[in-house]
Amino acid sequence: MSDFAFPPGLLLILGAFVLPQLQGKARDVLTLALPLAVLAMVWSLPLGSHVTLDFLGYQLEPAQVTKTGRLFATVFSLMAFIGAIYAYKQARLLELCAAYVYAGSAICVTFAGDIISLFVFWELMAIGSTLVIWSAGTDAAYKASMRYLQVHLLGGVILFAGVVARVYATGSVEFTAMALSADFSGESLGNALILVGFLINAGAPPLSAWIADAYPEASPSGTVFLSAFTTKTAVYTLMVGFAGEQILIYIGVYMIFYGIIYALLENDMRRILAYSIVNQVGFMITAVGIGTELALNGAAAHAFAHIIYKALLLMSAGSVLYQTGVRKCSQLGGLFQTMPQTAITGMVGALAISAFPFTSGFVTKSLETSAAAYEGHVVVWFCMVAASAGVFLHAGIKFPWFVFFQKDSGLRPPEAPLNMRIALWVFAFLCVAIGIYPDPLYAILPYELDYEPYTADHLITQFQLLLFAGFAFFALLPLMRRTLTISLDFDWVYRKVLFGLGRWGSTKFWRIDQLLRVWILARIQSTMVFLSQFAPVGILSRSHPSSSMVLWTVAVLAIYLVFSFI
Amino acid sequence: MKDVAPESNGQSEKSTKSSLDKTSSDKTSSDKSLHWLYRPENKPKLWGMLALILVLALVPEFFIHHHAHFESEGIHVDASWGFFAWFGFLACAAMVIAAKLLGFLLKRKDSYYDE
């Protein structure tokens, strides 16, 4: 094996197990060095497959470099680095190590050339992310992490069933484009199951609720890590496996509006942002469903920019939570006065997610809407434009307004610690830098791109769209009064209905079980009574004199003797 | 800017008071020196600024001609005067109202799952 290469993500996973062994400076250095080393490795490997392992007669390729995979791996390692700076002093060691296992496995997924190693790292991601939620250390976080794990184990089982069916039918483990078809062959069944497995991790309906349920229960830094990897890895796998599948367009558009409506109803600041992850991933999945080179470039670029600005928003919200201990919009407000840096960087993130001109969202999301227009998807295009206004409504204004402005809550927390602010400023800088100078990002996209986002028409229309969306927000503010409520979602089915049914069933079962036991005990009891009362005079226990037994035995033997002579 | 926003609604949160005791003591001291954003007399000015920005955003409509995205399908509405302005406003209004209506169906107390 002349060109042996180590899968970069594995370095981060292994490093996570070394970190707890170190102390003080050495640990700090390694913490910051690991993601940078991974980033360097990602870019030092040329395109193509570098390692081949034999496993049960299948060829595993855990270090396959593709342009799409490299783009995702780049932003994943960048995210791990900035996330580590943000979490540096405040997070527990367990959280940081779990986050590195999680990030490392996500990077490994983007380097997996076969579906078996993809599946292994896919499951490792579920474990790493569960531990990240868990390490918040609260009872609510523990329960949420268990619900989260169950959804992902379900997704994992479905994915694995799909992998088995596909490998059995085709004999190939290669991770490549997988077409859906309506026939009932093993291959199409496998492909459909794999698609469902991917979609569960993307937050697609009906199981979208896990994102808003679990992510906001993690620690301030934990939520930042969580927002980046699972859903975007799913977008990556959908791009490779199912680009151009029409059903993805409908799923994506549904997710876009689901995210907006639920975020509008929500009161918890980090849950607003969690719903908005579903909204943003919906844009990407719609683009994957459109499937042209421009659309796929759009999905990849949008994922890249999204990870940065969503992390920025959640870091801003996390700093507020860390400084005040308050997570509900109804109790926040007026924080811009004492946390101006957190407010400004948070607003940069809010402008970026809204695709405001001169931010990263503007130069990336417009690729997706343009792709919809070029392909003649009229309804999809109008939906995307309406939703772009809606993004400004639910994330772009709602989040900063209710947290930093609104009424004066009287809270006067000091600014967040220095390391948190550094992380905020770096990502805020990147949001604007990519927006002003998108060429380096465009250059590493999967396909050649010839696109100019800054035309007069595009600038003017985008300004109009967003400013009038902002006007709608303030004009309709009375309709959006914060209430101390949550919104029912599909998780109601398993948290209330199924749980209730289970509990009802078990009480019923317990009743029947009890009745049955009582009845059987009564039977045994009466039998014993019967035996004990009637046994001495009963036919079975009447005593026979041994002499009569001997007599009868002799008689039988005699008869036998007689018969044997006849 | 649009973040300097002209409304301080949502003030009437009944439950805010009880949950944040230290807040109320801070509040009395800060009432005297309210930030200018929160002073009632500045509210009309803020609305005025917003209106000015909106009007400015519409000025280019007199000079620029938009191209329709779906010319071949015979759809020209997206090239009409101020399309992105009114479409953005109506879309947001529709989503806010839809959320409000769905809220009657979906909203529960935030202790709903605790019991």
Chain B closest-CA separation from residue A130 CA (Å): 20
Judged by average pLDDT, the poorest of A11-20, A322-331, A513-522, B18-27 is B18-27
CB A408 within 8 A of CB B35: yes
- Same domain for B22 and B56? yes
Nearest to A72 by CA among A306, A357, A332, A345: A306
- Same domain for A459 and A538? no
How high is the pLDDT of residue B14? 36
- Compute the count of residue pairs across chains A and B with CB atoms less than 8 Å apart: 205
Question: Model pTM?
Answer: 0.85
Enter the ipTM.
0.81
- Same domain for B87 and B50? no
Considering only CA atoms, give the Rg of chain B: 22
Q: Do B2 and A467 touch (CB under 8 A)?
A: yes
How high is the pLDDT of residue A172? 86
Residue A486 belongs to a domain: no
The residue with tokens 């470099």 is A65
- Same domain for A280 and A349? yes
- Same domain for B16 and B54? yes
- Same domain for A149 and A41? yes
| d(C-alpha A553, C-alpha A546), whole Å | 11
How high is the pLDDT of residue B18? 37
Please, what is the average pLDDT of chain A?
89
Chain A closest-CA separation from residue B6 CA (Å): 7
- Out of A188, A217, A239, a domain closes at A239
| d(C-alpha A437, C-alpha B55), whole Å | 29
Residue A347 belongs to a domain: yes
- Same domain for A55 and A187? yes
Please report, rounded to a whole number, the percentage of residues in chain A having pLDDT higher than 90. Answer: 56
**Residue A235: band (very low, low, confident or very high) from pLDDT cuts 50, 70, 90:** very high
How high is the pLDDT of residue A540? 59
How high is the pLDDT of residue A363? 93
A531 vs A541, residue with greater confidence: A531
| d(C-alpha A383, C-alpha A332), whole Å | 32
- Out of A213, A239, A265, a domain closes at A239
Q: Do A480 and B75 touch (CB under 8 A)?
A: no
| d(C-alpha A547, C-alpha A551), whole Å | 6
Residue A487 belongs to a domain: no
Residues of chain B where predicted confidence (pLDDT) is lower than 70? 1-32, 115
Residue A484 belongs to a domain: no
- Same domain for B95 and B53? no
A321: pLDDT strictly greater than 80: yes
- Same domain for A200 and A248? no
Residue A277 belongs to a domain: yes
Residues 335-394 on A with a CB inside 8 Å of B are 337, 347, 373, 376, 378, 381-382, 385-387, 389-390, 392-393
Q: What is the DSSP letter of A325?
A: -
pLDDT tens by residue, A358-391: 999 999 999 999 999 988 888 999 999 999 999 9
Q: What's chain B's length in residues? A: 115
Please report, rounded to a whole number, the percentage of residues in chain A having pLDDT higher than 70. Answer: 97
The helix (H) or strand (E) run that includes residue B100 is: helix B83-106
Task: Write out A6-47 in H/E/C secondary structure.
Answer: CCHHHHHHHHHHHHHHCCHHHHHHHHHHHHHHHHHHHHHCCC
A542 vs A98, residue with greater confidence: A98
How high is the pLDDT of residue A272? 92
Nearest to B84 among A402, A464, A485 (CB): A464
In the predicted model, what is the mean pLDDT of residues A190-199?
Answer: 93
How high is the pLDDT of residue B11? 39
Residue type, A74: T
- Same domain for B113 and B76? yes
- Same domain for B3 and B59? yes
- Same domain for A231 and A256? no
Full domain range(s) for residue A501: 495-565
**Half-sphere exposure at residue A455, Cβ-oriented, CA atoms within 13 angstroms:** 12
How high is the pLDDT of residue B32? 56
- Same domain for A123 and A233? yes
- Same domain for A192 and A227? yes
Residue A391 belongs to a domain: yes
Residue type, A100: Y
Residue A139 belongs to a domain: yes
- Same domain for A507 and A427? no
Report the chain A residue with the minimal C-alpha distance to residue B19: A331
Full domain range(s) for residue B82: 70-115
- Same domain for A222 and A277? no
How many domains is chain B built from? 2
Chain A closest-CA separation from residue B70 CA (Å): 7
How high is the pLDDT of residue A497? 86
| Residue B24 CA from chain centroid, whole number | 27
- Same domain for B57 and B101? no
- Same domain for A201 and A249? no
- Same domain for B58 and B2? yes
Query: Looking at the complex, does the CB of residue B8 fall below 8 Å from at least one CB of chain A?
Result: yes
pLDDT tens by residue, A18-72: 988 888 888 889 999 999 999 998 898 888 887 888 888 888 888 889 999 999 9
Q: Do A261 and B98 touch (CB under 8 A)?
A: yes
A407: pLDDT strictly greater than 70: yes
How many domains is chain A built from? 3
Chain B closest-CA separation from residue A40 CA (Å): 39
How high is the pLDDT of residue B22? 38
In the predicted model, what is the mean pLDDT of residues A269-283?
Answer: 93
Nearest to A280 by CA among A143, A391, A121, A414: A391
- Same domain for B74 and B59? no
Mutate to test the interface with A, among B29, B89, B101, B102 (most CBs of A within 10 A): B89
- Out of A193, A223, A239, a domain closes at A239
**Half-sphere exposure at residue A488, Cβ-oriented, CA atoms within 13 angstroms:** 14
- Same domain for A329 and A459? yes
Chain B residues lying within 8 Å of A340, measured CB to CB? none
In the predicted model, what is the mean pLDDT of residues A174-198?
Answer: 88
**Region label for A358, one of left (φ > 0), alpha (ψ between -120 and 50) or beta (otherwise):** left
Residue A147 belongs to a domain: yes
- Out of B31, B48, B64, a domain closes at B64
A148 vs A544, residue with greater confidence: A148
Q: Do A257 and B95 touch (CB under 8 A)?
A: yes
